[in-house]
């Protein structure tokens, strides 16, 4: 009975330690995201993930709950009035009470304060871990005797096989590769993992050997192991997590080091005594019951790897360019290693024969490392083709491949140049530049109504005017027959953060969110004010920042969170106001950014269609929502026709960017600018009175930044480009020739240092990724994802030259010196 009570107490202690550590690490991560401008404004502020928003809103109360749980786990030491433990509990209590006097976690904005909060949140889990190290536990498990090299090698090899098989089974279940080639992929994955885990064995051997020179080898070995784990986790945090958030420089190194050091402590014993030495560093990942026998260890691995597969499946549709999947894969590595070391370390003793006990595992390690050339062949193949089908489903193999792939060649200093000009921090003040396309002197004689619908993440190949295989957009198809369909339209930015502002400016921008006040640069807002338009607009968080306040503004979707903006609801609200347009002489400008097909919407609502239609080879959840929008749009157009407003209106249907729906395993848009991201639909209907006066080339290369100059031209204000970074009118006077366009045009990610160049009149796309240090070339053959081709020197030179020149012109025009 006493033993059962003790075991129950140990389990309670370990569980409370783990939950409290997770709480504070989540707090630190939230504060870190708050400190990064684009993450704060594009992810946290619009509350795209309700669970994250709820965590921030209820953080103070959750902190008190976590404190109570911690007190329960620390009860024996609190009753004994242990000074260190009482100080820990007292400090936490004081901080929790003080937070009631603040606005809480959800009020954090990009600032040094958010960074300080993130660092401060790492203190409680580190402090608690140090308390556990000071009082290692109550179970009395003796430290193991010396562990042989053979046990270490077998543990690393077993962990490698467990991880590779887990992710291979997930790949098979997810259908990422055909069953016929699955075994080949499994073999390559196992080879990759054995290579990496053999390197881990080598590091383990060095740690054990170095510790033998000290007087207390177990203690030295444990701290050396913790240091190695902390360093590797800091490297992962810096190279994978923070780089994907475009956080670079000394601050990123500091934050990565802080997270690595904290995790290096937290992953140790959770209120129980683990075996000494290397095993201690990861012992917190193995529950006490799982270390009692190989069978229980195997059961724990099955449960843990099942959780890994479930987590990867849950985030697969909304991951941030595989960052979360890689994090989960790393967790699988750590759990597998910890379990293998605990299960095998105490059961394999050093062999009596030195040849067997020492040289045999190292010979096996050399043999495995000899397979590195074979593995590297697979890695090179994956790099040449962009991303292999296997690594698109196997996050662990992807992590290895990305780490082993060499950096793409770039002209001297280009990567640093791109990073200096990307995500310019809030602390760097930049004055706005006054951008003017034309002199505006009062309203024009003829002012059509303007309807600008920018459907977030809408792909053009899901609309029948661009893809004859589409049967679920008949209304847009009819609208296209009465409009100009621009066949080769692109966004300048691969995500909403800068794509939407660039539409309002009519050109490229400094890579900053945002230069304020934004009004002097907002050419479209200036036009609407001069022409005295009534403005009916969905006021999502970006528009609230970039559009100046005006008495002429009548918001749409009032009280509706941005994540719930839906095209049908907005159109219904607009239709309810149309009577005012027929009765009044004042024209209206209507703007909306519907979220129907945004990746976060589909992730929240479920990846199943919203109706019973068969969508063939299309993404059913996405296609069904496009079909719903099409029906509502058709009703809206019919309503305009019935009221006699259709022939008095400019109607523009476009998107801010596209989306990845499984191409080479990609989902969403994150910070990528692949062909399916930058190609967008652009359909423009002109009033009858303007048809005879203007012409357009539907096959020309055009951009969403051409919309503002187009409206200037249609309203009788021929625009003059203040710089080559600004757009052209989509329509030109029927008697005039169209404006000449650049043969190379830069595109960019809104959120990271990923840039591209449309070459040869947008027939090829060159991409340079300064985050993963990769490059790509795609032939834009009319398909959604284009065709990946090898990168040749001429494309690399032309692309990098165009990117550097365009960024230089942006900096010159906006008077920004990156230093």
| Percentage of the chain lying above the pLDDT 90 cut | 53
Mean pLDDT value of segment 559-577: 96
Most confidently predicted of 203-212, 487-496, 610-619: 487-496
pLDDT class for 4, splitting at 50, 70, 90?
A: very low
What value does the mean pLDDT take over residues 278-285? 86
- pLDDT, greater one: 265 or 14: 265
Longest dimension (CA), the chain: 99
pLDDT(273) > 80: no
Predicted local confidence at residue 44, as pLDDT: 85
pLDDT band at 390 (very low <50, low <70, confident <90, very high): low
**What confidence tens digit (pLDDT) does each residue in 667-698 have?**
888 889 999 999 999 999 999 889 889 999 99
Distances (CA, A) of 327 to 198, 474, 652, 665, 668: 21, 43, 41, 17, 18
Provide the pLDDT for residue 139: 38
Q: Which residue has the higher pLDDT, 143 or 396?
A: 396
Question: Using one digit for the tens of pLDDT, what is the confidence trace for 770-812?
Answer: 988 899 999 999 999 999 999 999 999 999 999 999 999 999 9
Give the pLDDT confidence score for residue 417 in this predicted structure: 94
Residue 10, pLDDT > 70, answer: no
Mean pLDDT for 506-525 is 96
pLDDT of residue 384: 42
pLDDT of residue 136 exceeding 70, the answer is no
CA distance linking residue 376 with residue 406, whole number of Å: 11
> What would the mean pLDDT of 17-26 be, rounded to a whole number?
88
CA distances from residue 425 to 37, 81, 119, 238, 816 in whole angstroms, order as listed: 7, 47, 19, 18, 13
Instruction: Answer yes or no: is pLDDT of 304 > 50.
Output: yes
State mean pLDDT over 576-602: 90
Tokens standing for 274? 């683990």
* pLDDT for 134 beyond 90: no
Lowest mean pLDDT, pick from 192-196, 453-457, 498-502? 192-196
Phi, psi of 74 (to 5 degrees): -95, 10
pLDDT band for 176, please (50, 70, 90 cuts).
Answer: low
Answer whether 348's CB lies under 8 Å from 159's CB. Answer: no
> pLDDT value at position 584?
64
790 phi/psi in degrees, rounded to 5: -60, 150
CA distance linking residue 175 with residue 182, whole number of Å = 10
Retrieve residue 708's tokens: 């503002």
> Is there a contact between 675 and 461 (Cβ–Cβ < 8 Å)?
no
Q: Considering the chain, what is the average pLDDT of its residues?
A: 87
Distance CA 221, CA 214 (A): 9
pLDDT at position 146, please?
58
Q: How many CB atoms lie within 10 A of CB 146?
A: 12
Cα dihedral angle (593, 595, 598, 604), rounded to 10 degrees?
160
What 3 state SS string does 590-624 have?
Answer: EEECCCCCCHHHHHHHCCCCCCCCCCCCCCHHHHH
- 663 pLDDT exceeds 80? yes
3-state class (DSSP) for residue 399: helix
Q: Quick one: average pLDDT of 355-384? A: 52
Residue 453 forms beta bridges with which residues? 592, 653
More confident residue, 598 or 180: 598
R_g of the chain computed on alpha carbons: 30
The C-alpha atoms of residue 4 and residue 17 are separated, in whole angstroms, by 20
Say which range, 196-200, 479-483, 648-652, has the weakest mean pLDDT: 196-200
**Sheet with 787-789, side-by-side order of all strands:** 745-748, 754-759, 764-769, 774-779, 787-789
Instruction: Report the predicted TM-score, pTM, of the whole model to 2 decimal places.
Output: 0.87
pLDDT of residue 226: 92
Query: Which is higher by pLDDT, 20 or 14?
Result: 20
């Amino acid at each position: 009975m006493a033993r059962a009570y003790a075991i129950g107490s140990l389990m309670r202690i370990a569980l409370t330690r783990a939950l409290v550590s997770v709480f504070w690490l989540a707090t630190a991560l939230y504060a870190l995201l708050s400190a990064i401008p684009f993450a704060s404004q594009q992810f946290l502020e619009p509350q795209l993930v309700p669970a994250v928003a709820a965590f921030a809103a209820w953080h103070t109360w959750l902190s008190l709950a976590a404190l109570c749980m911690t007190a329960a786990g620390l009860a024996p030491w609190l009753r004994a009035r242990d000074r260190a433990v009482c100080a820990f509990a007292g400090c936490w209590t004081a901080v929790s009470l003080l937070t009631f006097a603040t606005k809480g976690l959800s009020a954090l904005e990009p600032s040094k304060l958010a960074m300080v909060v993130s660092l401060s949140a790492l203190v409680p889990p580190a402090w608690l871990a140090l308390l556990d190290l000071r009082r290692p536990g109550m179970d009395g498990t003796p430290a193991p005797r010396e562990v042989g090299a053979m046990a270490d090698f077998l543990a690393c090899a077993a962990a490698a096989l467990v991880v590779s098989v887990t992710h291979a089974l997930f790949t098979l279940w997810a259908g990422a590769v055909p069953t016929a080639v699955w075994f080949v992929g499994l073999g390559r994955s196992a080879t990759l993992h054995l290579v990496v885990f053999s390197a881990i064995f080598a590091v383990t051997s060095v740690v054990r050997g170095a510790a033998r020179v000290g007087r207390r080898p177990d203690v030295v070995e444990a701290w050396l192991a913790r240091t190695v784990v902390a360093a590797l986790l800091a490297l992962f945090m810096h190279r994978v997590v923070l780089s994907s958030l475009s956080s670079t420089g000394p601050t990123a190194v500091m934050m990565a080091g802080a997270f690595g050091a904290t995790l290096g402590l937290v992953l140790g014993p959770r209120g129980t005594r683990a075996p000494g030495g290397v095993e201690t560093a990861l012992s917190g990942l193995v529950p006490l019951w799982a270390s009692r026998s190989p069978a229980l260890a195997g059961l724990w691995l099955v449960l843990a790897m099942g959780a890994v597969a479930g987590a990867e499946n849950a985030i697969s549709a909304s991951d941030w360019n595989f960052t979360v999947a890689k994090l989960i894969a790393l967790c699988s590595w750590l759990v597998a290693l910890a379990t293998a070391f605990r299960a095998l370390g105490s059961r394999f003793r050093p062999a009596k024969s030195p040849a067997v006990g020492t040289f045999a595992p190292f010979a096996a390690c050399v043999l495995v490392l000899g397979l590195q050339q074979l593995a590297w062949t697979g890695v090179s193949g994956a790099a040449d083709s962009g991303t292999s089908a296997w690594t698109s489903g196997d996050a662990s193999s992807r992590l290895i491949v990305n780490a082993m792939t060499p950096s793409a060649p770039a002209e001297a200093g280009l990567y640093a140049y791109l990073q200096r000009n990307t995500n310019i921090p809030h602390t760097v003040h930049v004055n706005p530049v006054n951008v003017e396309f034309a002199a505006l002197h009062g309203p024009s004689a003829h002012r059509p109504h303007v309807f600008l619908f920018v459907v977030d993440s809408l792909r053009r190949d899901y609309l029948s005017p661009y893809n004859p295989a589409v049967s679920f957009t008949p209304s847009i198809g009819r609208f296209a027959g009465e409009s100009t369909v621009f066949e080769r339209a692109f966004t300048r930015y691969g995500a909403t953060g800068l794509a939407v502002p660039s539409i309002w400016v009519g050109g490229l921008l400094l890579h900053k969110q945002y230069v304020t006040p934004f009004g002097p640069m907002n050419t479209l807002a200036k036009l609407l004010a001069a022409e005295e338009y009534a403005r009916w607009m969905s006021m999502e968080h970006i528009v609230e920042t970039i559009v100046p306040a005006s008495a002429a503004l009548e918001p749409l979707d009032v009280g509706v969170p941005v994540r719930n903006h839906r095209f049908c609801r907005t159109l219904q609200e607009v239709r309810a106001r149309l009577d005012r347009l027929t009765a009044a002489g004042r024209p209206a400008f209507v703007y909306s950014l519907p979220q129907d097909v945004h990746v976060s919407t589909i992730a929240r609502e479920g990846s199943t269609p919203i109706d019973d239609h068969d969508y063939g080879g299309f993404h059913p959840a996405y296609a069904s929502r496009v079909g719903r929008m099409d029906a509502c749009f058709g009703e809206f157009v019919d309503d305009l026709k019935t009221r006699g407003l259709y022939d008095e209106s400019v109607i523009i249907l476009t998107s801010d960017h596209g989306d990845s729906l499984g191409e080479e395993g990609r989902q969403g848009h994150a910070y990528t600018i692949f062909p399916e991201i930058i190609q967008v639909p652009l359909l423009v209907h002109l009033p009858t009175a303007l048809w005879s006066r203007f012409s357009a080339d539907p096959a020309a290369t055009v951009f969403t930044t051409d919309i503002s100059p187009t409206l200037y031209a249609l309203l009788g204000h021929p625009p003059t480009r203040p710089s080559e970074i600004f757009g052209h009118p989509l329509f030109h006077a029927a008697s005039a020739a169209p404006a000449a366009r650049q043969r190379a045009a830069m595109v960019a990610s809104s959120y990271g240092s990923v840039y591209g160049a449309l070459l040869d009149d947008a027939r090829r796309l060159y991409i340079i990724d300064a985050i993963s240090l990769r490059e790509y070339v795609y032939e834009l053959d009319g398909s959604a994802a284009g065709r990946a081709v090898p990168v040749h020197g001429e494309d690399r030179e032309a692309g990098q030259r165009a990117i550097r020149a365009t960024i230089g012109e942006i900096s010159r025009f906006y008077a920004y010196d990156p230093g």
